[in-house]
Amino acid sequence: MGEVIVITSGKGGVGKTTTTANLGSSLALEGKKVVLIDTDIGLRNLDVVMGLENRIVYDIVDVVEEKCKLRQALIKDKRFKELYLLPAAQTRDKSAVNEEQMRNLVGKLKEEFDYILIDCPAGIEQGFKNAIAGADRAIVVTTAEISAIRDADRIIGLLESSEIKNPELVINRIRPNMVKKGEMMDVDDIVDLLSIDLIGVVPDDEYIITQTNKGEPVIQNKRAPSGKAYLEIAKRVLGEKIEVTIPGREKGFFSKIKNIFKK
């Protein structure tokens, strides 16, 4: 039986789709059988971030309306051993699917796959409700900005009221230079405010843009620091107890001396 993880945030544009794509790819690299589901009906993006937009034949609405079989809608990503995508529809909206249908769909996939990652749309309306229906676990993505954290708090409240307990946090687009200068909230501040377990910190990375331009997950570029962060998050999802690497916190000799003087 597979595990269903919904990746949500409340706020738009903080990195849900990027996280879904890269976390899914990382899990596939670890040998797991993974399916990614785009539930942002009407504004689909997971397909284009993965570079699979030209291979869409059927989508999630076709499956739910039984115009095709589930197998036919799944796109196999040839770059990875066992990675599949179930794209969203582009010409419909989020009312085209309901929670019951989502649960059925996810139930069928659980029998075949190790991990089912659900890319949740922004907001708290039907799209969100669909995405969390049938999920076992949740990852909340936020950035270090006030509006993102505020929305994440609301989402965490909604998740805790649903069946999904213990959501975990990914802090995305951290800029260590700004954090050092005191111009950006740091990881501890954010974790204190939101009070949930931290599962990963991803630095702001230009490679995200260049890789997405090419339609390739950032983990495939060995030079990308964000790629390393996603690979680490995948290991933690699998249960490995690794300490969260926080970008910008060096453990070198000079930083220790600096700390003595700061106190």
Q: Which is nearer to another protein, 253 or 261 (CB)?
A: 261
3-state helix, strand, coil in the chain (%, to 5): 45, 15, 40
Q: Which is nearer to another protein, 206 or 250 (CB)?
A: 250
Instruction: Return the closest-CA partner of residue 139 out of 196, 185, 94.
Output: 196
Give the separation between CA 105 and CA 254, rounded to whole angstroms. Answer: 54
* Maximum alpha-carbon separation in the chain: 68
- Could you give phi then psi for residue 123, rounded to 5 degrees? 105, 180
At its nearest, how many Å lie between another protein and the CB of residue 147?
10
At its nearest, how many Å lie between another protein and the CB of residue 149?
6
Binding residues vs another protein (CB under 8 A)? 146, 149-150, 153-154, 157, 179, 181-186, 189, 193, 261-263
Q: Which is nearer to another protein, 78 or 263 (CB)?
A: 263
At its nearest, how many Å lie between another protein and the CB of residue 80?
39
Contact 227, 22 (CB under 8 A): yes
Q: Which is nearer to another protein, 112 or 160 (CB)?
A: 160
The position carrying tokens 């599949």 is 84
Contact 25, 80 (CB under 8 A): yes
Give the separation between CA 14 and CA 123, rounded to whole angstroms. Answer: 12
Q: Which is nearer to another protein, 64 or 184 (CB)?
A: 184
At its nearest, how many Å lie between another protein and the CB of residue 257?
10
Contact 129, 158 (CB under 8 A): no
At its nearest, how many Å lie between another protein and the CB of residue 195?
10
At its nearest, how many Å lie between another protein and the CB of residue 155?
12
* Calculated CA dihedral for residues 116, 97, 38, 31, nearest 10 degrees: 20
Q: Which is nearer to another protein, 71 or 180 (CB)?
A: 180
Give the separation between CA 263 and CA 249, rounded to whole angstroms. Answer: 17
